[in-house]
Amino acid sequence: MHKRLTNLLALFIMLAISAPAIASAALPEFTELAAKAGNAVVNIHTVKLVKQTDQMKDFFKFRRRGTPFDEFFDQFEKHFKNAPDAKPRKERSLGSGFIISSDGYVVTNNHVIAEADEIKVKLQGEEESYDAELIGRDPETDLALLKINTKRNFPTLKFGDSDKVKVGQWVMAIGNPFGLDHSVTAGIISAKGRIIGSGPFDDFIQTDASINPGNSGGPLLNLDGEVIGINTAIIASGQGIGFAIPATMAKKVIAQLRDNQKVSRGWLGVTIQAVDENTAKALGLPKAYGALIASVIPDQPAQKAGIKAGDVIIGIEGKEVKDSSDLLRTIASFTPGKKIDLTIWRNSRKKKISATLGERDTKMLSQGKNQQPEDQQSDAFLGMVVRPVTSEEATAMGLAEAKGLIVTEVAAGSLAQESEVRPGDVITQANQTRVLTPKDLKEIIEGDAKDKGVLLLLIQRQGQSVFRTISLPKD
């Protein structure tokens, strides 16, 4: 008996001693990866020249009237307007990037170098900074490509396949948070395919590896030292939540920037919205997937191919379209001029259509109301884009009549979004007055709603009537 107790005690002690070793062996070792990959990560310094007179003009532009200090401000502004321009002030910012070729091409975020007059990069362990030239940038994916202006062989990092990344996989981020050169953080992949409203092609990798201001543009690495993401965004109110642009997307964009100094994307020429369960049921779809065509822009590829409002695009080149965001990203991934095969859902059955893509033009997108007939023009109010609902849309959504304004877009952080107005909503009344055109809504916003400080919308959503109230700013 005594011998058995002695043996059990010895076993317990052995397990207690070995447990930390076992746990330690299960964790990855980052030292070699940090040392090797860190050599190809750069600290990016930018300088922007800002005229101080422009800053003062902004100050006077936004100051409020009706205060006891108006006389003082009037005299100061009068003197300021007649004063010579002050010496420009330098605004500096910091960011990160990484080298992808031995001759010095550097990948970073567009927002790191946007509007910069000077760009300099510094490598780990080096005192000297190098001038960098902007080769090209793509605001829609927040990517930019730089070239270091010096002849030498640089250490490099290579892109990995972000499509193969799995949730729970270990990753490491390198960057310059808060100006602290070459900081290394580690964590796991928290989620994939995140849409955070930062751009039309959101498809972020979410990670709990610490990402802070200054990390932007730096690499997110797998344990093989491959870049599987470009650290880009954080949520100010959250801790341990960072977002990276997938390497598979970035690789295509960077290749175009290197070859052409710009990015060309496919364009179909439609406005789209999500398909929820109620919409799928109304259209006879077996499940909620695909992208519902809200409208077709005249003389664009979709109209030429025979696509109509009310169609649902459920497949591209034999691959299922998950949702409206998936459709947008997939179409944009093709080169303009490519002929693609589409599978659409029309009248409760599948139909094959071929379309030759045009080229996505951001300027044309921003002037979208000029691309449609006058009675279908869109306009933007309070962060939402609206236009008259069509008869095809009314039928698809189960509306009794084609009257009202359909919401095609809602800007992130806008008053409309804060009041839970959603794309696909149909506004039938504003402040208890019927609205049929964007002009009707504009008149109510600038009149009755402005006087009351509030806009009350009656909305048709998924077969139900709901009210949404938007509080208007006093100015």
- Write out the H or E segment, with its range, that includes residue 281: helix 277-283
Catalytic member of 138, 142, 181, 202: 142
| Whole-number Å distance between alpha carbons of 393 and 424 | 10
269 contacts 301 by C-beta, under 8 angstroms: yes
Q: Cα separation of 215 and 112, whole Å? A: 10
Say whether 217 counts as a known binding-site residue: no
Look up tokens 């007059």; give the residue: 117
Is 216 marked within a binding site?
A: yes
Q: Distance between CA atoms of 441 and 434, rounded to whole angstroms?
A: 9
- How many Å is the maximal CA-CA distance in the chain? 102
142 is in an annotated binding site: yes
Please list, residue by residue across 408-419, b when 16 or more beta carbons sit within 10 angstroms of its beta carbon and e when fewer do. bbbeeebbbbeb
- d(CA 129, CA 106) in angstroms, rounded, equals 14
Q: Which of 216, 324, 325, 378 is catalytic?
A: 216
Does residue 214 have a known ligand-binding role? yes
- Locus of tokens 């002929």: 339
The answer to the question of whether 380 is labelled as a binding residue is no
Does 176 count as an annotated binding residue? no
Pairing of strands 41-50, 89-99: antiparallel
Q: 142 catalytic, yes or no?
A: yes
**175 labelled ligand-binding:** no
Q: Which residue has the tokens 């859902």?
A: 345
Radius of gyration, alpha carbons of the chain: 28
Q: What is the DSSP string of 303-351?
A: HHHT--TT-EEEEETTEE--SHHHHHHHHHHSPTT-EEEEEEEETTEEE
Q: How far apart are CA 175 and CA 171, in angstroms?
A: 14
Residue holding tokens 């008053």? 415
For residue 247, give the amino acid letter: A
Under a CB-based contact definition with an 8 Å cutoff, are residues 300 and 360 in contact? Answer: no
Q: Is 259 annotated as a binding residue?
A: no
Of 314, 282, 309, the closest CA to residue 298 belongs to: 309
Q: Under DSSP, is residue 106 helix (H, G, I), strand (E, B) or coil? A: strand
Q: Which of the residues 111, 181, 183, 190 is marked catalytic?
A: 111
In the annotation, is 224 catalytic?
Answer: no
41-50 and 118-123 beta bridge pairing: antiparallel
Q: How far apart, in whole angstroms, are the C-alpha atoms of residue 458 and residue 84?
A: 53
Does residue 182 have an active-site annotation?
no
Catalytic amino acids?
A: 111, 142, 216
Q: Which residues are annotated as a binding site for substrate?
A: 111, 142, 214-216, 232-236
Residue ranges at the known binding site: 111, 142, 214-216, 232-236
